[in-house]
Amino acid sequence: MKGKIKITVLTEASYKDIINIQKIDGWRHVYYLNENRLRELSKRGEVFYGMYLDGIMIGFAGVDVEIRARLHFLSIDNKYQKKGYGTLFVKELVKIMKTKNIKQMFFYVEEDSPYTIFLSKLGFIKVGFYKNRFGDGWDADIFELKI
Ligand SMILES: CC(C)(COP(=O)(O)OP(=O)(O)OC[C@H]1O[C@@H](n2cnc3c(N)ncnc32)[C@H](O)[C@@H]1OP(=O)(O)O)[C@@H](O)C(=O)NCCC(=O)NCCS
């Protein structure tokens, strides 16, 4: 990992960048964000964070804070994957959540996804599953981290 990292709250001005990053993270997502959906989620209280490397956005995450904080999206540009940026991003988000007095973070992941390894390495533990979570017949694993 080289360069200057900045993690910042995103506004509507970055919606196009968010949509783009999700398209180039190499994963076949169940659904893709568009500007209307981003507006709707933001209105409901979800906060979108961007990760910048030397001024270029290389990743984004959505955090939906209720009693526990739900990490809702997490995408790193394919070109920057497997270099530690995803780990750094989640660790920084955990620090931000701690300042908001949040005690747990959770994330739904498609069952058997290789990304369960990524979450496990960060200390997330599988605490259950959600049947047909995405409406396509696939179950989701629920991963949780005490912070
Ligand atoms: C998942 C994602 C956010 C990880 O970001 P990243 O910057 O590549 O992750 P890191 O470099 O910090 O990897 C940390 C560990 O996660 C694991 N990991 C990351 N990507 C993996 C993959 N595709 N398959 C298996 N393990 C993986 C590795 O074990 C790695 O540990 P190592 O460096 O000791 O090998 C990124 O790959 C991504 O955007 N994927 C597509 C979107 C997605 O599926 N999001 C849901 C995430 S649960």
Q: Which pLDDT tens digit goes with each residue over 115-142?
A: 899 999 999 999 999 888 878 888 899 9
> What pLDDT is recorded for position 67?
64
Q: Ligand 1 pocket test: which of 23, 72, 79, 82 has the largest number of ligand atoms within 8 Å of its C-beta?
A: 82
**Ligand 1 pocket, 118 CB below 6 A?**
yes
SS3 for 77?
A: coil
**CA-atom Rg of the chain in angstroms:** 15
Atom from ligand 1 closest to the CA of residue 143: 48
Number of domains in the chain: 1
Nearest to 28, CA basis, from 110, 83, 117: 110
Residue 64 backbone dihedrals phi, psi, to 5 degrees:
-105, 105
- Give the structural domain span for 65: 5-146
The CATH number that applies at residue 34 is: 3.40.630.30
What's the predicted TM-score (pTM) here?
Answer: 0.81
Specify the DSSP element, H or E, that contains 14: none
Question: For the residues 74-78, what does the mean pLDDT come to?
Answer: 96
